[in-house]
Each structure stands twice: as structure tokens, then as C-alpha cells.
Copies of this chain bind each other. A is one copy, B any other.
């Protein structure tokens, strides 16, 4: 039997992982990796930081060279080779050598597609103007850097406020540029829920970014000199820009797959089974181009992130080498940093749960990343989404300045193993004062969720608060009770708010109405939880806690 010929199309995260893993599993296979660009296995997540000067050397972004793939993994790497067509019946591909223009037809036994995702280019007038860039490859980065220099660029407009848009905003601010971000949606970072990203929106503005939500670009015009662009918005504004970055998202690159007649999924990604096999048993697909199963909802989804791409590459390699590997789906764990602020999430968002009609309950907690008696503690907000029946954790989002991604990673492992909020209560995590808390933020999130599920507390959320905000303080409207210490209470936000500090609640309890619903709040929801317990046990039946307190209320979009 001659050695198996395995062709891999695409040499970045998923393709590169697949090639390296396959070689470790099968020394005899003939592995050829075709890459349209000049580089394989480059650090695409690092591109914005190279543009911002944080990563100083371009070479640092080249994680593994074609030469390394050749010598270490005996992989025949063909850069600047574009696979133009697949003939699944004949098991051949047509490849163009971009350097010479010549094409050839080559036979495979197994084909792995790892084409990635391409930036979405909305049909805006002027979108192809010079000075308008997307960011996918090192070559894009080179072009942006060249434009910044040539144009002496001072003003950038970024269209789109997802991960890349925000990372680019931070990095162009690092370059002392004046940055405007236009976003179609009413929030940045669409995968997260709107209230969890308001700190990011404030942070961007605090650092001088002109963030305009619900403000799509409508056209890009080139000025008379040729260098200055003008971005028009649907609001009728004309924003001058030396540079426009288009970052409105990515879509699976499926041209080849479509041409080969491979099935696509409902999301538009290449359809694969849990062994990363496409509708053709000899063709696998991995990475940003494939449709995967959402681990929490069970629904098909697109998750264009490096971690899952790498794991998919491994699974495909194992299966090709005759092993029984499976991809368990993806949780959408993600993190984004800007100006020292960290946003992270894992599992399903509230939006996704609603869209899929999945029952859920939620809690908000605000906890210091480490013991507050040790200097430098920073408060983080955690939103926990969980099954209202059995308490299974469905998703979590967090935002803050320290220790945020740690808590999301712990909850990611919890979700992976089907843990409940009761498991989070019992999590035994590292504690010394500079690292955490005897009751870690993960424990606190579990406690509050557990309190809700055990019926120890009823909660209202920030989005229900308008019921008391804009209504006259009558008996049909819940009474708002603020239990913060007097020194922490500024003018009460809600007219008619009653103020009784927690420490005086028992002595003033007779002043509270027994025939009216009472909504209790404090700064973060903890003192008001204690107050809820006092009131509930003293016979007040209709008492609720503002989850996350005023801090969560202030995060409302």
C-alpha cells in the first residue's frame, strides 16, 4: 500500500494544526499544505497589536515558517499556491502557482479544507477606494502600515465594533490617531449582552474614541486630493478619514466547498460531522469556514476563533490517521481587551438563549478580583445564565480590570462538564489575598444563583426597573427600598424611594407597608439580599432584590 496523500488547503490555525498533528500520527503520509498567501501559521490574533506597536517585530508574528513545516514535520508547504477547484469524483484539485501563473492538477486521497473566514464587505458605495482596509493577513497589515506612513494618517474611521474593530481602535489610539468607530448595532461586541459591554463603551469614549452606535456607514467618498476619504453615515454626517478599517465581521470562505458541491449548513458554513468530515467522505473541513454545533444550545453556529480551529485540526488529523476522535462542539469562549479593560464570555448569551427559546434565569454579581483588604483590588461584574430547573450553567459574561478571564475560564470548564450553579458555590479555588478571595467571584456568582433557585430570594433585573422609575409612587407600583449606609446614598434615583440602612432595618420594619410589593436595592445587591432575607422571614411576601444593585442598574445600555 502506498502512502496516503493528504492535501491541506490553508496553512493558518486549523490547517497548520492538522498538518502537524497528522505527521505525528502518521509518519508515512504524504502531506501537502497549500497556502494562497506567502505565510503559514502566522499569528493573526496579533495583527492589531503589531499595528499598535505593542508587538515590535513583524517576524514575531510568524509562529512557524514553511521551512519549519518542511524540516520538522516533513510537510510539503506550497505558499502562494491557490487551490482553484476540486473534483471530488476524480479526487483531484486544480492548483495555481501564483508566482508563475501555471496551474496543475494533483490527486489526493484525503483533502482537508481550512480556508478560514473572509472579512465581510458590505455593498457600500466607495468601499473599494484606496485607503479602505480589512485586516486578515500580514499583507493587510503591511498595507495598513504603509498607508499610515504615506498618508501621515491622523484620523481613522473603523466600521464595525466587534473584536477586531475594538482591538484596532485601541491600537490606533496607541499610535496617537484620532479614531471614530461606527457600529450598526446599539452595542459593541455583538456576541455579548448589551449591558455587559457598556463599560467597554465608556472606556472607549474615555480614551477619546468617538464611538457611534446604531450609526452604519452609508458610503465612502474619496476626496479631491485622493488621500482624504470621507465616510458618510446614515445619520447624514460626513467624517473625514485618512484611513478606513472595515471590520464588520467575517463569513466562512466557502467558494471552493461550493464549487465542489459540498453541503453547506444553515449558517452558511461548511457542514461537517463531529469528525470534521464534510458531505464528501474524502474531504474534511476545519476552522473558521465550518459550521459547528453550539455546545450549550445544540444549534449550528459559526465561531471563527483560533482555539476551536486548532482543536478541529487535531480531530481531523486523528480521524484521517484512523483514530476515533470527535469534536465536542464549541462554547464560544472569548476574550477581548482594550485600555486595560477585559471582556470575556463563555457559553450562551441571554440573546442566544432567547432566540433559541431556552428557559433561563440570570444573576449579576460584582466582586473584587482579590481580597479587598489587599491593595489594588478591582471590581468585576459577572452575569451568570443558568437553567431555572436544574441549575446547569448555560453561560457567563464578565467585565473588569483584573482576573476577569480567569473566572470565565473556570466557568468554561464548569460548562464543559455540565456543572450547576451549586457546583460553582462549592468550587475550591486559589486563595491568598493578592490572588483571590476566600469567597471567589465564581463562588459569589454561584451563591446568588443558588439563592434564586432555592427560592431564598426573588430578583428583579435592571431592565425591569423602569416599572418603578417612570410611574407615580402609588400602591400599584412597587415600593423601592434603598438599604445602603446613609453615607453611600446620593439623591435617590427613583422618586418615593424609602431609605433604611440595613443595620437599622429591624428597628424600622414596622414602617414598611405589608400590602405592597417591595423592591430592595443597595450598591451591588448584597446588603439588599440580607434585607430581603430579613423581610421575607418577617412575613413580607412580595419582596424582591435588584440583582447586582445600582452597579448593574448603571450598566444598562
Does A334 make an interface contact (CB < 8 A)?
A: yes
Question: Is the beta-carbon distance between A430 and B344 smaller than 8 angstroms?
Answer: yes
Complex: chain B residue closest to A323, CB-CB: B454
Question: Is the beta-carbon distance between B306 and A428 smaller than 8 angstroms?
Answer: no
Q: Which of A338-383 contact B (CB under 8 A)?
A: 342, 344, 346, 371, 373-375
Question: Is the beta-carbon distance between A336 and B428 smaller than 8 angstroms?
Answer: no
Does A465 make an interface contact (CB < 8 A)?
A: no
Does A416 make an interface contact (CB < 8 A)?
A: yes
Question: Is the beta-carbon distance between B416 and A426 smaller than 8 angstroms?
Answer: yes
How near does chain B come to A77, taking the closest CB pair, in angstroms?
14
Complex: chain B residue closest to A431, CB-CB: B307
Task: Compute how far the CA of A167 lies from the CA of B305 in the bound complex, rounded to whole angstroms.
Answer: 40
Of A42-50, A265-273, A277-285, the segment with at least 4 beta carbons within 8 Å of chain B is A42-50
Question: Is the beta-carbon distance between B333 and A428 smaller than 8 angstroms?
Answer: yes
Complex: chain B residue closest to A43, CB-CB: B373
Does A308 make an interface contact (CB < 8 A)?
A: yes
Question: Is the beta-carbon distance between A432 and B335 smaller than 8 angstroms?
Answer: yes
Query: Which chain B positions have C-beta within 8 A of A335?
Result: 430-432, 435-436
Task: Compute how far the CA of A336 lies from the CA of B504 in the bound complex, rounded to whole angstroms.
Answer: 40
Residue among A45, A68, A308 with the highest chain B CB neighbour number at 10 A: A45
Query: Which chain B positions have C-beta within 8 A of A506?
Result: 74
**Interface code A411-445, partner B: CB below 8 Å = 1, 0 otherwise?**
01110111100010111111111111011101000
Of B163, B413, B529, which contacts A410 at CB under 8 A?
Answer: B413
Does A227 make an interface contact (CB < 8 A)?
A: no
Question: Is the beta-carbon distance between B409 and A429 smaller than 8 angstroms?
Answer: yes
**Interface code A144-185, partner B: CB below 8 Å = 1, 0 otherwise?**
000000000000000000010001000000000000000000
Known: A46-B373, A328-B426, A374-B49. A305 touches B413 (CB 8 A): no
Number of copies: 2
Does A207 make an interface contact (CB < 8 A)?
A: no
Task: Compute how far the CA of A337 lies from the CA of B26 in the bound complex, rounded to whole angstroms.
Answer: 44
Complex: chain B residue closest to A398, CB-CB: B430
Query: Which chain B positions have C-beta within 8 A of A375?
Result: 54-56
Task: Compute how far the CA of A456 lies from the CA of B417 in the bound complex, rounded to whole angstroms.
Answer: 26
Of A113-121, A213-221, A532-540, the segment with at least 4 beta carbons within 8 Å of chain B is A532-540
Does A202 make an interface contact (CB < 8 A)?
A: no
Question: Is the beta-carbon distance between A435 and B27 smaller than 8 angstroms?
Answer: no
Complex: chain B residue closest to A54, CB-CB: B375
Does A310 make an interface contact (CB < 8 A)?
A: yes
Does A122 make an interface contact (CB < 8 A)?
A: no
Question: Is the beta-carbon distance between B429 and A412 smaller than 8 angstroms?
Answer: yes
Query: Which chain B positions have C-beta within 8 A of A100?
Result: none
Question: Is the beta-carbon distance between A416 and B423 smaller than 8 angstroms?
Answer: yes
Question: Is the beta-carbon distance between B502 and A72 smaller than 8 angstroms?
Answer: yes
Does A556 make an interface contact (CB < 8 A)?
A: no
Complex: chain B residue closest to A411, CB-CB: B413
Query: Which chain B positions have C-beta within 8 A of A456?
Result: 24-25
Complex: chain B residue closest to A537, CB-CB: B27
Does A503 make an interface contact (CB < 8 A)?
A: yes
Question: Is the beta-carbon distance between A43 and B412 smaller than 8 angstroms?
Answer: no
Complex: chain B residue closest to A502, CB-CB: B72
Question: Is the beta-carbon distance between B439 and A374 smaller than 8 angstroms?
Answer: no
11 new A-B contacts at CB < 8 Å, known A406-B409, A409-B410: A27-B534, A43-B433, A45-B438, A306-B438, A307-B438, A333-B431, A334-B430, A410-B410, A410-B412, A413-B417, A416-B426
Can you show 9 pairs from A to B with CB atoms below 8 A apart? A27-B534, A43-B373, A49-B374, A55-B375, A56-B375, A71-B502, A310-B439, A337-B432, A412-B427
Closest 7 CB pairs of A and B: A71-B503, A27-B537, A417-B417, A335-B430, A306-B438, A405-B430, A406-B406
